[in-house]
Structure 1
Amino acid sequence: MLDAGGLSGRAFRFHGAQFAAVSPPRVLLTGPPGSGKTTAIRRTIALLPGLPMAGFYTEEVRGRTGRTGFRIVTLDGRVARLATVGAAGGPRVGRYTVHVAELEAALSQLEPSPHVGLLVVDEIGKMECLSPAFVAAARRALGSAVPFLGTVALLGGGFIAEAKRLPGVLVLPVSSERRDSLPAELAARFRSPST
């Protein structure tokens, strides 16, 4: 694992040796909830028009009482439930029931292909890791020759910890100092994956 966490935000540059050493680029953004990981993923995707991508990101679902769950949005436009407050039947993480079958229906998006220039996974977290099929698909994606951009929970064992230790994976903490410049730097690297 290459970890940029010990470097100051201003000193660390993606076109420097650490990021260039990751080939194909495999980047996992990490940080506490609300740090801007998903926002950085979505902004990076928006800066890469024309690059064939596959995968998904997650969004909060909000109601009158606040957050009521999470949904998966695939890069080909499909939407599925990931977790819902108070739903019956299924494993739970905190107050959320996780919809494992709906997550697994989106996993075809994670198959590495020579026609895909970037695989996106937001996020490798406790909810997603309740699915052995998700873990297997994410492991294959991270080990493939296709560039990878994802997020990973700050804390956790099992595959969360394993993903951070995989060879050739750069784990990059998202901080308030780097949050705004991060998407452009990531996009520049994914536009030129062999440099």
Structure 2
Amino acid sequence: MSKHVFLTGPPGVGKTTLIQKVSQALKSSGISIDGFYTEEVREGGRRTGFDVVTLSGKRGPLSRVSSGSSTSRREYRVGQYVVDLVSFEQLVLPMLRNVSHGSDAEKTVCVIDEIGKMELFSQAFIQAVRQTLTGSGTVVLGTIPIPKGKPLDLVEEIRSRKDVKVFNVSKENRNSILQDILAAVESCRK
């Protein structure tokens, strides 16, 4: 019996777009849904970072391209990006704590896009995700990266959970997979 649904696939394949479409569809059918997705921030045609956008409309920086000059004492970096952990935690943690208070009768859907390297710098986030996955009142609809390089503990943990259904999103299936994901989320709520 699946309780949660995750999408995985290469960067840029359309996981966030699918999550947004599924969220709209669930919302319009009256299902209680909260969560966040990450959005590229572009300036002058190039990507300068990522923002966290909550489904309730709040947004804040997740990461920005490092200017190279700042060497703060505690810097979390992924490639050229410096992760703004404080901003990320302020937006995401209260939402995750609230969402897990759903009841079994009215399961809330919690969108977590994504559980990746940047997000996993936050121990509090890791803990909140684990609690949300084990809580009974919430269905998680999330995205996880494709394994490459050193495995990310939480990502592998999610991938191997028996109560998680993982969809592999590809350029070939991304336009036809929406109904399958919706159906999977619906059945998790039963």
1:93 aligned partner, one-letter code: V
Return the match for 2:83 from 98, 123, 130.
Answer: 98
- TM-score normalised per structure 2: 0.84
Tell me by how many angstroms 1:177 deviates: 2.4
> Which residue of structure 1 lines up, in the alignment, with residue 142 of structure 2?
150
Counterpart of 2:9 in structure 1 is 31
Give, in angstroms, the shift of residue 194 of structure 1: 5.0
The answer to whether 1:130 aligns with 2:116 is: no
Q: Which runs of 5+ in 1 are unaligned?
A: 1-20
2:47 pairs with one of 67, 86, 96: 67
Between the aligned partners of 1:84 and 1:47, the Cα distance in structure 2 is: 31
> 1:193, CA displacement in angstroms?
3.5
Aligned residue identity for 1:167: K
- Equivalent position to 1:43, from 17, 21, 37: 21
Instruction: Provide Cα deviations, 1:31-90, integer angstroms capped at 9, x if missing partner.
Output: 110111111101101111221111100100001150000000011110010000015432
Give 1:52's aligned amino acid.
Answer: S
Partner of 2:36: 56
Please tell me the residue identity of whatever aligns with 1:133.
A
Q: Distance in 2 between matches of 1:95 and 1:55?
A: 26
- CA displacement at 1:182 relative to structure 2: 2.0
Amino acid at match of 1:147: V
Secondary structure of the corresponding residue to residue 33 of structure 1: coil
4+ residue runs of structure 1 moved beyond 3 angstroms? Answer: 191-195
2:101 aligned residue: 113
Does the aligned pair in 2 maintain the 1:56–1:122 contact within 8 Å?
yes
TM-score (norm. length: structure 1): 0.82
SS at match of 1:57: strand
CA contact (8 A) 2:35 2:55 kept: yes
In the alignment of these two chains, the number of paired residues is: 173
